[in-house]
Amino acid sequence: MNDAVEKLLNSAVEALQSGNPAICISLTSQALQDLAPGDRRIPEALSLRGTARLPLDAPLAMQDLQQAVQLDPQEPQFLTALGQAFSSLGMLNEAEAALRQAWQFSKGHPVVTSGLARVLLHRGKAFDAVQLLGPLVEKGNANSGHIRQFAEALFRSGDIYGARDLLGQFFGPDGPQTPEDRLQLARIDLAVRDYGSAEKGLKALLKSDPDSVPALMSAVRLADWKNDEAGLKGFTERLANLCGDRADALSLVIEHSRELSASLLQRAEKLLAEPSRMAEEQATLGFALALYFDRKGDFERAFKIAQQTNERLALHRRAVQSPEKRAEIKAEMLAQLKRASELTKMVQGVADTGALSEFIYLIGAPRTGSSLIQSILAAGRGIESVGERTSLYPYLMDVVSRDIGVPAIERLIMDLAKADHAGLERERKTANVIVDKTPHHIFAAGLLQKVNPRSKFVHVFRDAGDVALSMFLRPFSEYFAEATSLDAVADMLEVRLTAHQLWSEAGLPLTVFSYDRFVSAPQKQGERLFGALGLAWKETYLDPRVRPEAVQTFSSRQVRQAITAKKAPHWASYESFAPDAFARLAEVSAAQNAIIDTKV
């Protein structure tokens, strides 16, 4: 073995670790010149040089890193370096693929696990991150970084109390010590509506670091949810002065601003135009700006910004909603629905002993006003809201997508029922009636009833044009890929009509409710809904002051305002910009209204 080459590579590693990429590049290039073809150290030198080149010349860096993997495709070290490079460039699909391979070949090495979990969380795949990190934590092999990641994954997947319990055990009686940990705990307190603890934590953070942008962002959200107008104004102004080129923070400023100064608007437009920034961050900013112009009545400008943002976001996610792609997705959704319906007829569920809570699942599409309906239902005595609790859905859809036997499905249903009720007890949700709102639950409604036999379902309908426009103007995750296209939203709403028919034929206790009719006659329609669900109605439930809980969706502000009906559908102001799409959505609305007229 050539000792000179070994010395070069060892020195290259030291140079890279000490922050001298130029020296690392020089040393590895020299080593590559000295190595004979076929030498096993060539991919090592290439991977080192590629890592060093990344901040200086990304294209050349990727050539080196990819060549290293081609030469030794099962070496976790080289796959990890490639995955980290993809991640740093915002190429998260490619990063996840490379890191998943590295994780498999390394047999779950902690460093690789951490990198893969980070990418999964960036991609919004919190449930996958929970599955990845959970076994490591349970076996006691997780380091502090893994535990923090696991808590974040639990938080984002909806198990907020689980995240708080985990961090409480991790921090011990002294509580969190670092600003990052204090902020994470404050965010959790905010999510579980423990406003006092959240405010105490944020005050302490801002006292020690008044210029902390993350703490100010949480302070803005807390002031918003508490209807603290003075605090909201003050925190927003401070955030505007301090956020610099952070797109997420600037988005929050725009969201809570009635008027934008010329300089702030210029900052936002400049950030929005930068091609090198991550598309997800730009998308959040773009939609905030589109909604600002929507509030100002400049609909043409709002539509143009939203359209450009959606096109760029879909391209970044490799989820462009072409006619061919839309047809493929629609066929897959219909096939899954058929499979879920068939399985519902085949499997036995949990026996209804009458001792369990009754579940009311709101299964309307996104932006149908279901958050408001959930809030009003939860105002009733003995009724509690659990927000959007998605913990069961991934398991149920995994069953639908795989070919597994009925006995295995029935065992899973029993396990899910136990886990679901244990989770509710941990969250202290022990009311007689639990209200959940998760749009995707419509695709597994029959199986959901097998898990929770005392289930009722409310299919909330809203004018399809307003649903589509509302989704088009907001930054939905990649799980709602249809949001980037008005036609794709129409596809999704058509599939939901099929789902309604399937579950109605299956005999599910399904109540139809019109959001549009509700806002026109809240007292009458509210009483009708409560009566259909066997609940006692009071007109005071319409008063937002009796519904103080935070709502973790785009509807958080609407839920705290008085209910009002609009004179004309919102989409009418945008019809001229996409006449064909809105004409098709009008047909969907007509089909929905036919169902409403039949059932009401």
Handedness of CA 555, 557, 562, 565 (dihedral sign): negative
DSSP result, 40-104: TTHHHHHHHHHHHHTTT-HHHHHHHHHHHHHHSTT-HHHHHHHHHHHHHTT-HHHHHHHHHHHHH
Enter the tokens of residue 408: 């295995």
* 201-to-8, 21, 344 alpha-carbon distances in Å: 50, 40, 47
From the CB of residue 94, how many other CB atoms can be counted at a distance below 10 Å?
18
Per-residue model confidence (pLDDT) at position 375: 87
How much is the pLDDT for 175? 74
Distance of alpha carbon 482 from the chain centroid: 14
Cβ contacts of residue 394 below 8 Å, gap of 6+?
Answer: 127
Q: Which residues of the chain have pLDDT under 70?
A: 1-2, 158, 276-278, 355, 390, 427, 545-565, 599-600
Give CA angle at 72 (71, 78), nearest 5°: 110
pLDDT in tens, 106-155: 999 989 999 999 999 988 888 889 889 988 888 888 888 999 999 999 88
Phi, psi (rounded to 5 degrees) for 550:
-75, 145
Specify the pLDDT at position 492: 97
How far CA 513 is from CA of 238, 292, 566, 587, in Å, comes to 43, 30, 18, 19
**What's the predicted TM-score (pTM) here?**
0.80
Rounded CA-CA distance 280/247 in Å is: 10
Q: What is the pLDDT of residue 554?
A: 40
